Amino acid sequence: MSFEDTILGLASVAVLGGYLFYRQWQRVTQNAEPADSKDWDGKGFDASGIAPKIDQVRKDYLAHKHAPESHFRRGLVAFARKAVAHLAYFQDRTHTAE
């Protein structure tokens, strides 16, 4: 390998490294800490336009015949139940009085 090839290879590595460093720096500065949720401005949603459609879907759902339960579906429901039960929000917390 000649001296020119070595210099060209090192220059290529330096340019690539500089580019990757610059892209990482952009990601870090653009994705800074999100604002605290208490500082968010709430925006309302007017559901009056879709309320009749929602009522119709609910009525159709109750009138619709469902497929018979399968073992696979029961297994999925049991798996989801266990997964949700293990989330920290649903864990039983004991509070100690100090």
**pLDDT tens sequence for the chain (98 residues):** 788 899 999 999 999 999 999 999 988 888 766 667 666 677 777 888 898 998 888 888 777 766 777 888 889 999 999 998 888 887 776 765 55
| 20 occurs within a structural domain | yes
The answer, as to whether pTM is greater than 0.85, is no
Tokens representing residue 43 in the block:
């925006």
| 6 occurs within a structural domain | yes
pLDDT of residue 96: 56
Count Cβ atoms below 10 Å from residue 14 Cβ, excluding itself: 10
Residues of the domain holding 1: 1-30
pLDDT of residue 30: 80
| 15 occurs within a structural domain | yes
pLDDT of residue 89: 81
Q: CB–CB of 81/75 below 8 Å?
A: no
| 86 occurs within a structural domain | no
Tokens representing residue 5 in the block:
């090839």
Tokens representing residue 79 in the block:
């798996």
| 92 occurs within a structural domain | no
Q: What is the CA radius of gyration of the chain?
A: 29
Tokens representing residue 6 in the block:
């070595």
pLDDT of residue 59: 84
